[in-house]
A and B are shown apart, each in its own frame.
Chain A
Amino acid sequence: MIRTVLAGLRPTTVPGLRWSSRVTAGALALVAAAGMFSVLATASGLADLLGNGDDTVLLVTLGGLAGLASSIGFTRIRSAQRIRDADVLGGVTLCLLILIVMVGALHLLIGTTGSFVDALADATAGLTTTALGVLSPDAGDHAGRFLRAGSQWIGGFGALMVAVAILPFFGAEREFADRSRLGGRRPLAPNRRTAVRNIVYLHGVVSVGTWVGFTLAGLGAFDALMVAMATVSTGGMVDGDPFASPAVQYVAIIGMAVTGTSLVVLWRLVVGRSRGLLRSVELRVYLGLLVLGTALFLLWTGGSGPDGIRRAAFTVTAAVTTTGFPSAPSGTWAAAAPVLLLGLVSIGPMTGSTGGGFQIMRHRALLQIALREMVRQLHPRVVSRVRLGGRVVAESTLSQIVVVQFLVVSVVFATATMVAAMGLDLATALGVAVHAISTGGPVRALDGSLLDPTDWSAPVRLAILPAMVIGRLSIYPVMVAASSTVSVVRHRVRLRRRIRAYRGRTR
């Protein structure tokens, strides 16, 4: 009976013919992960030359082999004629998971840590840009530091690709893509290829600009690069305390604010179509959150003066953009201050940025859905459409957003319950769950002090990893992948039918 069941699990590929959509997506995911790993490993190995160079040979060799495997693999793929949307999303999830395992293995190989759980947790925190890392590479360990920063940069870049170039073209939130050529505009994402090119261009410009800014602010070139990668990706994992200098803090504030801005807004600034940008409700809400959040935070922590404003702006910007740079609490924190930061992290920045959270556009959609429902209570037969950014949003998109809210709350509850059962107190459990799915650290206690993830047990650190992955990929890809997997297994196994057939044969 077991052989019968296992026979159903073999993939359906016939040599010489095109692969199925699902197998193609899986293969492409593997190849893409290997390619990104190759770039990361090679770059880390070269970065190690700036230090003692102990790990250069290992890293460059591994990077080279991965690159070779990726190239060969890519040429051997017999791509399906058309890859289904669900398989694309599943492939994206698989790519991230494979990359996490690879980067974790790399941490173990170069000796950043000897613990598998720590390696996996840090790799996940880096690639999901969550700032709940547990490793602290030495100042001289350039390979380890570059690996951490590089994984954040790749994670942030990947998040942009998912938000701007993948999800809108594969069935989710199509209206949020910038595809319109109305008014002679050059859209950011008229098609997939152009979207990828424009994202690489913009992200590269912002990254280089931030690097230069930190260098001018007084950081060394390598340190500036590390901090810039953590800023631009909204990863937030840095080594030591590079923000002791006010100049560095100001650059970080500007860098984070730019990174939390929608790529569409940045694109329009670049192509010279900035007129009317401030009419964008989402942009105004984003800027308003930064200003109002800073003012409230200042009020509730008793801060004052230029230094107080700067520190408040730094903390609030790090929260709104879900970057999560650590900042030690100053003054006396009122009960509302940590709640304000938690709320800002869960709201998140603009849609189409590297930031996490639920994001402003989706919140606006939810608000409009709520208002429409109240109108329907009064006028049940009214036909009412939701408009965002001047465009009518399809009912399917609205339905997806509502479902995302439901799933986010479910994941938060499940994660909080698991970590609470594993020993964290209630406030910390809720904070950890919200930060994990919003991909924004660090977690704070009720008095504002920073909580160290290394103080948590290994099961707790493992329990929050799924929430980080789900949050970074904006829910859909992971959930679609999970439901596809369940469906495939049920279809292949057809356990009840096989059990009945087996019983029929043995009678």
Chain B
Amino acid sequence: MTYRRSGPRDRTARQRDRVRSTTAHVTGLALMFISGGMLLSAVVEYVDGTSGTALLLAAVVTAVLGTMLWRSTRPGVLDHATIFTAVGTTWLVASAFGALPYLFAGTFAVAGRPWAVVLADALFESISGYSCTGSTVFGGHNLIGDQGSGVLLYRQLTQWAGGMGIVVLVVTVLPSLRASGLGLIDAEAPGMGVDRLAPRVRDTATRFWKLYAGLTALIAFGLLAAGMGPFDAIAHALTTASTGGFSTRDASIGHWDSLGVELVLVVAMVLGAANFTLHWRSLSLKRVVHFRDHEFRGYLAILGLGTLLVTGMLTMDGMGIGRALRMAVFNVVTLGTSSGFGNATGAESSGDFVRWAAGPQMILLFLMVFGGCTGSTAGGVKVMRLRVGMADAYRTLRAFRRPRALYPVWQGARTVPEAIVARIAGFMVVYGMLVVVGTMVVTALGTDLVTAVGGVIGALGNMGPALGEVGPTDSFVDGFSTPARMVLAVLMLVGRLEIFPMLLMLVAPYRSLRGAGRGGRS
């Protein structure tokens, strides 16, 4: 029997046997990555002395299925429809498999709860993690503090992975995606266009991850210095860099009631919600370039003005000025950056903003709509879109006075192309419609108006807490019915992917079905 080493022709033949499907290929790889997080959490669980079998089982199932999917497929044609399908499906499938650790560990299997509700809660928590929303179904009957270290770490890791983007992760390691990877990255976070940090897409993605990891490490050191324990510091660093907001404590940051911790987090959240391109440029040029960016200046202005107004209103309501300033700074920044941490030490405490007067709550609602900067881990409509929208409104009014004049939209020293202005206008129209329809649906499912509006805007903007019945100290189980929570979960994914990928993800499969018989293109 002769042995012959496999050559290029054999490899090509093996590749030809694989199904061409970019969606399945990217999804498979994403599942393999998230299984890594499950495995790490299982190890921590074992080290902690509790049984990590559930997490290990979830990791194995996810890894095996992911590997099978990856190995049996190869990337296909990357048109726009396919890109949206790939991104949307990856996130959907990753979020669904992300619920396995909670299901296998019986985290939400409280006595007397139907299995459908347990499944829904696990899905909700997983989606809230990967979308970096930070809304939780823990609380009351099922405390965060009662969970093992592995489950807690896994929860934090879901937000860290979701913060930079699962697809960015995939593009970093998949050479076969090459230049078209920029389309995938752009589809995951569409906006004004992704700035290339390097000529090659893969290097751009790698640099984003380096920045992200570096920021995470810096935050962890800062929290350690402020007095948090090592596990809590690392865990909170993961969800601060991703502006996610999950905490390892039921009272969130209020558990420590420490000005030092809050200050570190405020600075970290502001950095996390700023454009990462600015961070890279500052590091490359070895000087701070942030303040030359108009969007960043506008973002700081919104946070500053919001803080001033909220401080004033809280002081007029009888809170001491020092306390009011501290509460205002933390809560304005946490909601303005879509992080969602809370510094309430308990219900009815001064940090529980749903107990504040209506005026400060309206300011917070405004902040929840607009979120952070483009090119960051923050959610919301984004400051750049607000600026362009305002500029567009102003030039339309000017055009009434001089109908034949041409008024471009300026951002700093550059004009914004009309195609981008139209895209932003279309985005804001769709966003507004989703808020209205989402609110109607959630109220039809039994939620009051204020809680529904806060929940829908919070879900679309990936904020975390809502208003009304569900504030920083409350669980989403108390304020929303199970179907309403599922609606919010869908909105979280829609918001994380900035609407269009999730709304358009079915176009490519629909076309494939219509043109069935032309081969395995998807």
**Which A residues lie at the B interface, using CB under 8 A?**
84-86, 89, 171-172, 334-336, 338-340, 342-343, 366-367, 369-370, 372-374, 376-380, 396, 399-400, 402-403, 405-407, 409, 413, 416-417, 420-427, 429-430, 446, 476, 479-480, 483-484, 487
Q: How far is the CB of B236 from chain A (nearest CB, A)?
A: 30
**Contact of A399 with B392 at beta-carbon distance under 8 Å, contacts A370-B426, A420-B358, A483-B401 already known:** yes
B425:A402 contact, CB within 8 angstroms: yes
Choose, from B110-118, B198-206, B446-454, B487-495, the stretch at the interface.
Answer: B446-454
Closest to B508 in A: A378
Whether A369 pairs with B362 at a CB distance below 8 angstroms is no
* B499 vs chain A, min Cβ distance (A): 9
Chain B: minimal CB distance from A296 (Å):
9
Is B96 an interface position by the 8 A CB rule?
Answer: no
A396 to B439 CA separation, bound complex (whole angstroms) = 31
Q: List 22 A-B contacts (CB under 8 A).
A: A335-B447, A339-B439, A369-B425, A370-B426, A374-B426, A374-B503, A376-B422, A376-B423, A378-B507, A380-B419, A405-B429, A420-B358, A422-B359, A423-B358, A424-B358, A426-B467, A426-B468, A427-B450, A446-B449, A480-B397, A483-B398, A483-B401
Q: Confirm or deny: B361 has a beta carbon within 8 angstroms of a beta carbon on chain A.
A: yes
- New A-B contacts (13) at CB < 8 Å, excluding given A366-B432, A421-B313: A84-B401, A335-B443, A336-B446, A339-B440, A340-B440, A373-B427, A376-B423, A399-B425, A406-B390, A417-B366, A426-B358, A476-B400, A480-B397
**How far is B396's CA from A400's CA once the two chains are assembled, in angstroms?**
7
Given that A339-B439, A373-B422, A426-B361 are known contacts, is A171 also in contact with B400, CB under 8 Å in the complex?
yes
CB contacts (< 8 Å) of A342 on chain B: these are: 449
Q: Please classify the interface of chain B as helix (H, G, I), strand (E, B), loop, or mixed, using the class held by over half of its residues.
A: helix
From A367, A430, A480, give the contact of B401 (CB < 8 A).
A480
Note all chain A residues with C-beta closer than 8 A to B359.
Answer: 417, 420-422
CA distance A430 to B318 in the complex (A): 24
Q: How far is the CA of A417 from the CA of B425 in the complex (A)?
A: 24
Interfacial chain A residues near B468, Cβ < 8 Å: 426
Contact A373 B430 (CB under 8 A): yes
8 A Cβ contacts from B467-522 to A: 467-468, 500, 503-504, 507
B305 at the interface (CB under 8 A from A): no
The answer to whether A429 and B401 touch across the interface, beta carbons within 8 angstroms, is no
**Which residues 407-439 in B have Cβ within 8 Å of A in the complex?**
419, 422-423, 425-430, 432-433, 436, 439
| Contact A406 B449, CB 8 Å, known A86-B401, A426-B467 | no
- Contact residues in B for A366 (Cβ distance below 8 Å): 429, 432-433
Tell me the chain B residues, 245-293 only, with Cβ under 8 Å from chain A. Answer: none
Cβ-defined partner of B449 (8 Å) among A338, A405, A479 = A338
Task: Check if B504 sits within 8 Å of A377, measured CB to CB.
Answer: yes
Closest 10 CB pairs of A and B: A373-B426, A421-B359, A420-B358, A417-B362, A86-B401, A339-B443, A426-B358, A403-B396, A336-B444, A336-B443
Is B294 at the interface (CB under 8 A from chain A)? no
Q: Is residue B174 within 8 Å, beta carbon to beta carbon, of the partner chain?
A: no
Which chain A residue shows the least CB distance to B453? A430
Q: A378 and B504 in contact (CB under 8 A), knowing A86-B401, A89-B400, A427-B450?
A: yes
Tell me if A369 and B429 are in contact (CB < 8 A).
yes
How large, as a class, is the contact surface on chain B? Answer: 35 or more
Q: Chain A contacts of B440 at CB under 8 A?
A: 336, 339-340, 343
> Does A429 lie within 8 Å of B358, measured CB to CB?
yes
Chain B proximity of A444: nearest CB distance (Å): 10
Query: Nearest chain-A residue to B402 (Cβ)?
Result: A86
Chain B positions 312 through 331: 1 when the CB is less than 8 Å from some CB of chain A, otherwise 0: 01000000000000000000
Interface centre among B80, B84, B389, B425 (most CB of A within 10 A): B425
For the complex formed, measure the closest distance between the CB of A125 and the CB atoms of chain B, giving whole angstroms. Answer: 23
**B120 on the A face (CB < 8 A):** no
Q: Chain B CB within 10 Å — which of A338, A402, A430 has the most?
A: A402
Q: How far is the CA of A416 from the CA of B358 in the complex (A)?
A: 9
In this complex, the member of B358, B432, B468, B500 whose beta carbon has the largest number of chain A beta carbons within 10 angstroms is B358
- Given A373-B423, A446-B449: A402 and B429 interface contact (C-beta under 8 Å): yes
Instruction: Determine if B7 is an interface residue (Cβ-Cβ < 8 Å).
Output: no
Q: B105 contacts which chain A residues (CB < 8 A)?
A: none
Contact status of A413 and B400, CB under 8 A, knowing A378-B80, A378-B507, A405-B429:
no
**B213 part of interface (Cβ distance < 8 Å):** no
**Chain A interface helix/strand/loop/mixed:** helix
Question: Restricting to B173-192, which residues have a CB under 8 Å from any CB of A?
Answer: 190
Please state if A484 and B401 are interface contacts (CB–CB under 8 Å). yes
Instruction: Give A374 to B429 CA distance when docked, in angstroms.
Output: 11
Per the 8 Å Cβ criterion, residues 372-421 of B in contact with A are 389-390, 392-394, 396-401, 403, 419
* Chain B hits for A409, CB < 8 A: 432
What is the CA–CA distance of A494 and B429 in the complex, to the nearest angstrom? 38
Known interface pairs A85-B403, A336-B443, A377-B80; A479-B397 also in contact (CB < 8 Å)? yes
Q: Are A446 and B448 in contact (CB under 8 A)?
A: yes
Q: In the complex the two chains form, is A379's CB within 8 Å of B80's CB?
A: yes
Q: Is B93 interfacial (CB 8 A cutoff)? A: no
B residues near A379, Cβ cutoff 8 Å: 80
Say which residue of A335, A374, A423 sits within 8 Å of B500 (CB atoms). Answer: A374
- The chain A residue sitting closest to B451, CB to CB, is A335
Contact A377 B401, beta carbon cutoff 8 Å: no
B417 CB, min distance to chain A CBs, angstroms? 12
Closest to A373 in B: B426
Please report the C-alpha to C-alpha distance between residue A409 and residue B447 in the assembled complex, in whole angstroms. 23
- Chain A contacts for B361, CB-based, 8 A: 420, 426
| Pairwise interchain contact A403-B446, C-beta atoms closer than 8 A | no
Docked Cα-Cα span, A366 to B426, in Å, equals 8
A424's closest neighbor in chain B, by CB? B358
Chain B nearest CB, measured from A368 CB (Å): 10
CB-CB < 8 A to A378: which residues of B? 80-81, 84, 504, 507
Residue on A nearest B441 in the bound complex, by CB = A336
Chain A contacts for B400, CB-based, 8 A:
85-86, 89, 171-172, 476, 480, 483
Query: B500 — which chain A residues lie within 8 A by C-beta?
Result: 374, 377
B residues within 8 A CB of A376? 422-423, 426
**B393: contacting residue among A372, A374, A406, CB under 8 A:** A406
B436 engages A343 (CB within 8 Å): yes
**Which residue from A336, A369, A377, A405 sits with its C-beta under 8 Å from B84?**
A377
CA distance A377 to B84 in the complex (A): 9
Judged by a CB distance under 8 angstroms, whether B47 is at the interface is no
User: With A and B bound together, what is the CA distance between A423 and B317 in angstroms?
Assistant: 10
Shortest beta-carbon distance from B15 to chain A in Å: 28
With contacts A85-B403, A413-B362 taken as known, whether A335 is within 8 angstroms of B448 at the C-beta atoms is yes
- Contact A380–B80 (Cβ < 8 Å): yes
CB contact under 8 A between A420 and B401, given known A370-B433, A403-B396: no
- Which residues on A sit within 8 Å (CB–CB) of B358? 420-421, 423-426, 429
Nearest residue in B to A86 (C-beta to C-beta)?
A: B401
Residue of A nearest to B79 (CB): A378
CA distance A145 to B449 in the complex (A): 36
A426-B361, A484-B401 known; A339 and B449 CB under 8 Å? Answer: yes
Q: Contact check, B363 vs A417: say whether CB atoms are below 8 A apart.
A: yes
Q: Quick one: closest A residue to B396, CB to CB?
A: A403
Q: Which residues of A contact B397 (CB under 8 A)?
A: 403, 479-480, 483
User: Please, how many angstroms separate the alpha-carbon atoms of A280 and B503 in the complex?
Assistant: 28
CA distance A476 to B393 in the complex (A): 11
Say whether B357 faces chain A, with CB atoms less than 8 Å apart.
Answer: yes
CB distance from B427 to the nearest CB of A (A): 7
Q: Is there an interface contact between B427 and A374, defined as CB atoms closer than 8 Å?
A: no
Cβ of A367 and Cβ of B433 under 8 Å apart? yes
Are B396 and A370 closer than 8 Å at their CB atoms? Answer: no
Chain B nearest CB, measured from A266 CB (Å): 29
Report the bound CA distance from A430 to B449 in whole Å: 10
- Shortest A66–chain B CB gap in Å is 31
Docked pose: A380 CA to B436 CA in angstroms: 27
Report yes or no: A406 in contact with B436, Cβ–Cβ below 8 A. Answer: no
> Distance in Å from the Cβ of B501 to the closest Cβ of chain A?
9
CA distance A423 to B389 in the complex (A): 30
Docked Cα-Cα span, A140 to B375, in Å, equals 67
